[in-house]
Structure 1
Amino acid sequence: MRVDPYSLELFISVVHEGSIARAAGRNHIAASALSRRIADLEAAMGLPLLIRSPSGVELTEAGRHAFERAVSVHDQLRSMAREVQSLSGEVAGVVRLYANASSIVGFLPERLKAFQARYPLVQIELTEEISDEVVRACIDDRADVGISASSETPNGLESWHFADDPLMVLLPLGHELAALDALTFHDVIRFPLVALQAGGSLDQTLKERADAARTPLQLSVTVNSFDAQCRMIEAGLGIGIVPTSAASAFAGSLGFVRRPLDETWATRRRLLVHTLRKSSRLKAVQALIDTLRCAAID
């Protein structure tokens, strides 16, 4: 029986996407070619691994076992390649970077461009996640480096300052709060809010502050991205509390009124770089950490 690493990678991708078509698009391969790869893998295993239907795919019992082993083997192969690459005199290899949305839209593009120019042999695998998941990925060693808005550093991680990203209030034109130069949280929660995805650090912070104020949040609509949030606010569906980075990226037009959120917890919001505490790291991983830390200092 011969099972090649690329087929395992495609199989893992199909499971994650729940669809051969979506996995094909993600991996830049024709759906028919990917389907043949999976069929060949099933033939090598001697059992069907997937249940196919018009709505997508599901794992068979054999497929669940194969998926767990495939992930383990795939991770071991990647780890071996990364370790071998680190033995060369050059900084090369793959770095797994997990980051929250505000760091991606506000700070990372330019900093990763500078890193790429300095270390052209390093490939950055960037995954966007909410802050809690970024921290979990670092703890589980699924991420080499993470950037989050988490205010605490769990045991086992090292953290450094990455960027200040205070919260601000976005208002549609003509809103009555626009007459004020700065707004308190009490001012804001009197009005319907356009909220961001449940479970994120910003969502948790606002709920905690509302609970402390013993005032329920009035949510007009909930969206899953900063750009959607800003569009809803611009259309007059509510007001919003967003990081300054997101406001700069998506609310820079004349269709908004921007005001500081005059609360200590809002003005002191910052982003941190995290990594698992280790005695030594791959050269490429350390190079990215050093670059991100230097950028924060500069």
Structure 2
Amino acid sequence: MSGLLDSVNQRTQLVGQNRLELLTFRLNRRQRYGINVFKVKEVLQCPKLTAMPNLHPFVKGVAYIRGQTISVIDISLAIGGRPVEDISKCFIIISEFNRSVQGFLVSAVERIVNINWEAILPPPQGAGRSNYLTAVTEIDNELVEILDVEKILDQISPADTRLSTELLDEINLITPAVKTVLIADDSMVARKQVQRAIESIGCDCICAKDGKEALHTLQAMAAKGCIYQQLALVISDIEMPEMDGYTLTAAIRGDQALKDLHIILHTSLSGVFNQAMIERVGANAFIPKFNPDELGQAVKNAMIPIIDTPA
């Protein structure tokens, strides 16, 4: 396992090319899963876990790794499967999501696969609202499921979407002509978190489940009239099936009818992001998930210049 991620720091060239690398793994069942390598800090044989009082049922225990206390989550149990019985044969994937580090308990870790985001597809329509998927893909003629980790983490420790009273008072002093925001995110939980925060400051929201749907929505709006009279800004995740946030941003900047839209990239890639790429594709701001005041402040900054809407 030690050599599996040795070259992870060399993989930043994939960013902005609508590509990613998936680390594939398996749980108790034969089903294969994938996680973005950018979110993985380390993979190791599961160490001895310490039980602590009042842990969430999904948390198998706590591990002390390199001087850091890390909660280890039984992913199989979290998504409705059988709990892991024998951790001695398991691995943990240590990852960083939404400004926190946690370990995911898995039965087997396989390999890293380079893949195009266009080959990452939304979950099948029949999957239902209660599923734990953000996307699926096919590798070696086998279905690979990409889990909605944000949904799992929100079940364990729900995010607070309330803005501070001070920031709300500041935002209430702003009266922009346009108060509609487009939110693009493949995680239903993340979309709802952003939507609640944005609606609390008096804005309306249009939601898209990936970059491709967001771009089509924007183009349809622009076909009806000036986009700047309909939309204040775009808040987009970076990791999304079919079209990622970097590619969406570049497409917006390349469209004459959309090119001046204010774009905030809002992502769970809190530990790793490419500032040079953000500037190259032309995003206005980057915010790691999820801090409602930081998001609200970024929206406030976007609203101030559009008090006088472009003609």
Q: TM-score, normalised by structure 2?
A: 0.27
- Greater strand fraction, Structure 1 or Structure 2: 2
- Greater helix fraction, Structure 1 or Structure 2: 1
**Which protein has greater RCO, CA pairs closer than 8 Å, 6+ apart?**
1
Structure with larger Rg:
1
Q: TM-score, normalised by structure 1?
A: 0.28
